[in-house]
Amino acid sequence: MGLPRTPSFRLDGKRALVTGASSGIGLAAAVALAEAGADIVLAARSVDKLLALEADIAAHGWSATTISMDVTDVEKTAENVAKLGPFDILVNSAGLARHGPALETNTDDFDLVSRTNIKGAYFVTCAVAQGLINANKPGSLINISSQMAHVGGVDRAAYCATKHAVEGFTKAMAIEWGPRKIRVNTICPTFILTPLTQATFDIPERAAWIKEKIKLGRPGEVEDIMGAVVFLASDAASLITGSAMMIDGGWTAD
């Protein structure tokens, strides 16, 4: 009998744009895609860090180039994507947070978080999709969301608002572009140990809260995200769109 064959997880011949690639999850996603064979364009505001990452990737025999990109500058981002694309894969990891009690949220912080996490994410996704549509190509667009897109959290009202919004537009885009074979999904990590999250882990009551909520008993590492990125980008996930992949150690299972 003819046996079914596992679809390939390899990304040879694919081009990928990774925003927020200078550190943390974005950096790990870029490495994962490069290791799987994709040609990576590393994008972030911090070009020095990107150039160091590009050199490290090249030292492993993988392919990457660097571009300065601020996703909140929607017009310039669209120009760069149109010039450098089309991209078969997007990992949109650019994001930020301003945590604090909801009643103490000021409009400047709310607007800053919203410009990056919602507006920037929305329009860079559109720009990559437009390039694919113009080239009549399929693609996989991955927005790095959060477990906080599905639950609430102390001092995280503004951040939760933006990530819930990401889930909403991801589903709508998946419906709209599905007939063009453009898949749009999110990855929703729990607290990942990075320099940006260290301040949270340094607060004893917050660290205890995290330990209690994560059923597997440990916070995430960037390596926990890498396989999911490759999977969603690859043909192995060819029937997955409009979905949220939870990488939260069971946080949202309650």
Give the pLDDT confidence of 100-137 residue by residue, as tens digits: 899 999 999 999 999 999 999 999 999 999 999 999 99
Widest pairwise Cα distance in the chain: 66
Cβ–Cβ < 8 Å for 83, 60? no
In a domain, 250, yes or no: no
156 lies in which domain range? 15-244
In a domain, 175, yes or no: yes
Task: Give the number of domains in the chain.
Answer: 1
Give the mean pLDDT of 176-188: 98
Residue 46: the pLDDT is: 84
In a domain, 43, yes or no: yes
Residue 250: the pLDDT is: 96
In a domain, 1, yes or no: no
Residue 164: the pLDDT is: 98
Q: Calculate helix-pair angle for 24-35, 47-59, nearest 10 degrees.
A: 30
In a domain, 151, yes or no: yes
In a domain, 112, yes or no: yes
pLDDT surpassing 80 at residue 196: no
In a domain, 3, yes or no: no
Please, which pLDDT band fits residue 195 given cuts at 50, 70 and 90? confident
Q: What is the mean pLDDT of the chain?
A: 95
pLDDT, tens digit, 9 for 90 and up, residues 48-70: 999 999 999 999 999 999 999 99
Cβ–Cβ < 8 Å for 20, 95? yes
Give the mean pLDDT of 201-226: 92
Q: Calculate helix-pair angle for 24-35, 223-233, nearest 10 degrees.
A: 50
pLDDT, tens digit, 9 for 90 and up, residues 73-97: 999 999 999 999 999 999 999 988 8
Q: How far is CA 147 from CA 88, 213, 235, 247, in A?
A: 26, 11, 25, 8
Q: What's the CATH code of the domain at 210?
A: 3.40.50.720
Higher pLDDT, 155 or 17: 17
Residue 97: the pLDDT is: 87
Residue 154: the pLDDT is: 85
In a domain, 187, yes or no: yes
Buried-exposed string 64-96: b where 16+ CB fall within 10 A, e elsewhere: bebbebbbbebeebbebbeebbbbbbbbbbbbe
pLDDT, tens digit, 9 for 90 and up, residues 2-27: 899 999 999 999 999 999 999 999 99
User: Which amino acid, one-letter code, is at 176?
Assistant: E
Most confident by average pLDDT, 37-41, 45-49, 209-213: 37-41
Active site residues: 159, 163
pLDDT surpassing 90 at residue 162: yes
Residue 115: the pLDDT is: 96
* pTM of the full structure: 0.95
Cβ–Cβ < 8 Å for 246, 225? no
- Is the peptide bond preceding residue 86 cis, with omega within 30 degrees of 0? yes
